[in-house]
């Protein structure tokens, strides 16, 4: 009898634990409350936004000093004369003007700075530069640029030849 009494409490604990586990399984879980949402106001008919206004090359150059503006205008004139098929496009995010030829694609960009203008040749790294027109590469892999500080720099015959060389190279 003493054995039975000693086992009774252990069995009682096991039965009690078993009952609790069964009770947990059988009891339904409380449902999560749905978030209270405010009724959404009816949306108005979509308003069509006007297309973004395109900047012009003149607007890009408008904020430049008169000296830089004159250098840039000289370069633009040179490009129009040497590559009459090229078109210009203002890139306000880059603060520059891009030049594109129908056959060659994007060839170069003109970037005004505070005291000079850079004419960036998109694939200038592939061009021969026997006259030393380009500035040192400064880590550039594909492109090269010419730094123009005066209007006379824009009239150098070597620059004209480099523009032609770039368009011909990219047209092939």
First to last CA, the chain: 108
Cβ neighbour number for residue 146 with a 10 Å cutoff = 23
94 in a structural domain: yes
* pLDDT score at 102: 96
Question: How many domains does the chain fold into?
Answer: 1
117 in a structural domain: yes
Q: Give the residue-averaged pLDDT of 10-37.
A: 60
162 in a structural domain: yes
CATH of the domain at 110: 3.90.1150
In angstroms, rounded to a whole number, what is the distance separating the alpha carbons of residues 84 and 149? 25
* Contact assessment for residue 119 and residue 96, using Cβ atoms and an 8 Å cutoff: no
96 in a structural domain: yes
Task: Please report the sign of the dihedral spanned by the C-alpha atoms of residue 92, residue 110, residue 75, residue 112.
Answer: positive
Q: Which domain holds residue 78?
A: 57-171
Give the full edge-to-edge strand order of the sheet including 144-148. Answer: 87-91, 96-101, 105-112, 117-121, 144-148
pLDDT tens, residue by residue, 79-120: 999 999 999 999 999 999 999 999 999 999 999 999 999 999
3 in a structural domain: no
36 in a structural domain: no
Q: Give the residue-averaged pLDDT of 114-133.
A: 95
141 in a structural domain: yes
């Amino acid at each position: 009898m003493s054995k039975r009494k000693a086992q009774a409490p252990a069995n009682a604990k096991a039965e009690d634990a078993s009952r609790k586990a069964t009770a947990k399984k059988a009891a339904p879980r409380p449902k999560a409350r749905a978030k209270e949402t405010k009724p959404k106001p009816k949306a108005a008919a979509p308003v069509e936004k006007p297309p973004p206004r395109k900047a012009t090359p003149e607007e890009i150059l408008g904020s430049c000093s008169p000296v830089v503006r004159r250098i840039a205008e000289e370069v633009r004139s040179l490009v129009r004369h040497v590559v009459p098929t090229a078109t210009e496009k203002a890139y306000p995010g880059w603060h520059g003007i891009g030049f594109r030829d129908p056959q060659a694609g994007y060839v170069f960009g003109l970037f005004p700075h505070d005291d000079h203008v850079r004419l960036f040749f998109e694939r200038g790294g592939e061009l021969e530069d026997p006259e030393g027109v380009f500035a040192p590469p400064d880590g550039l892999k594909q492109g090269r640029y010419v730094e123009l500080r005066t209007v006379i720099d824009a009239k150098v015959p070597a620059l004209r030849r480099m523009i032609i060389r770039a368009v011909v190279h990219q047209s092939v």
